[in-house]
Amino acid sequence: MAREVASTRIPGTESQLPVPEPPVLKPAANPPAANAAEAAAAARGNVLRPLFLVPHRLTPAERHRRICELAYRRAEQRGFAPGSEVEDWLEAEREVDAGRY
């Protein structure tokens, strides 16, 4: 016996184009490791990274300390010339927040 399927058309919407659903993206089963150390760690099941590589997990005091140190180094490199203190601080913040320091 054949099954009857209910129509999904709504009367009066014949001129409207159907809205396509966004594709479902599935994560890769085994993402490639960046280096041999990461590949070995992934093989052991240990994929956690050290705390210092994850800047959003820094305590506010640790983040401030790192920014202070980096801003001081930048000022020292330019001979402590006045006028660029804010730029030194903002660039240090960007580097710490990006995880480069």
pLDDT tens, N- to C-terminus, the chain (101 residues): 556 555 556 666 566 666 667 777 776 665 555 566 666 666 666 555 555 544 457 889 999 999 999 999 999 999 999 999 999 999 999 999 888 87
For 14-49, b where at least 16 C-beta lie within 10 A, e where not — what string? eeeeeeeeeeeeeeeeeeeeeeeeeeeeeeeeeeee
pTM, two decimal places:
0.44
